[in-house]
Amino acid sequence: MKVIKLDAIDSTNEFLKGLSNKQELENFTVVTAESQTKGKGQMGAVWVSEPSKNLIMSILVKDFLADICQIFSLNILVSLAVIEVLQSLKIPDLSIKWPNDIMSYNKKIGGILIENSIKSDGTIVSVVGLGLNVNQTNFENLAKASSLAVICATEFDKEVLLSSIVTSLEKNKALWNQQSSISWNKYTSILYKKGIPMAFSAQNNSNFMGIIQGVSVAGKLLVLLEDDRVAEFDIKEIQMLY
């Protein structure tokens, strides 16, 4: 595993994408930084992190996606790799808030952003960005955020976490063909608020009640509506109100 350590950068994802376009990098090359100025999440959301306190990393993943239609499989692969490491550390009440926020209790402790590109030879290369709140304890004006240190009242070694997550990701990738259905079921089983009536906001700003049932093969959220229909929603079409 090659690890490129940076002090400060605008975005580890952007740095790794640029580097991979200039030279051939080995699979699972990692870029990590103590701070980044333009960290982002899903749909351009800003990722705020106190310098040197949290794990900020991007991982290059090659030879996994054979078809762009399978991109949600990588979301599952990465989400479960992180969850498995956190479970080994006894982090309580873990879940995945669709599509790829890592939760403990009702607080967000991590987020994943995956960006894919198709090379001239047709292969798909993915850059997996991960932000994990590790030792930060001040979340002023961020009521829905927390960290491993806040939850467990102790600090964690970020380098050990990084190594463990990449090792878990490599293992899961190697076993994917044999265990893909198991992984899908596990992802679905730990979906945040699954099976619980909750409020949602639609794209047109109207609110409605529904119950999360699971995720489609295309990665859309399956929600049971009040008229007993199960509707599919893309990330841009729905927001959980919690």
pLDDT one-digit tens code per residue, 164-219: 999 999 999 999 999 999 999 999 999 999 999 999 999 888 999 999 999 999 99
The yes-or-no answer to whether 3-189 and 197-241 have a common fold is no
| pLDDT attached to residue 22 | 93
The domain spans of the chain are 3-189, 197-241
Percent of residues, the chain, with pLDDT higher than 90: 86
pLDDT one-digit tens code per residue, 19-63: 999 999 999 999 999 998 876 655 555 556 789 999 999 999 999
Q: Is the pLDDT of residue 238 over 90?
A: yes
As a whole number, the mean pLDDT across the chain is 94
Instruction: Name, in order, each residue with C-beta under 8 angstroms of 70's C-beta and a sequence gap of 6 or more.
Output: none
The CATH number of domain 197-241 is 1.20.1740.10 = no
Residue tagged 């899961």 (tokens)? 172
Which pLDDT band, with edges at 50, 70 and 90, does 141 fall under? confident
Residue tagged 């509506």 (tokens)? 225
Quickly list H helices, 23-100.
71-88
Please state, in angstroms and rounded to a whole number, the distance separating the CA atoms of residues 49 and 36. 8
Average pLDDT in the 118-140 region?
A: 94
DSSP-derived 3-state class of residue 115: strand
DSSP-derived 3-state class of residue 187: helix
Instruction: Say if residues 151 and 92 touch (Cβ distance below 8 Å).
Output: yes
Sign of CA pseudo-dihedral 6, 1, 73, 110: negative
The CATH number of domain 3-189 is 3.40.50.970 = no
| pLDDT attached to residue 83 | 98
| pLDDT attached to residue 237 | 95
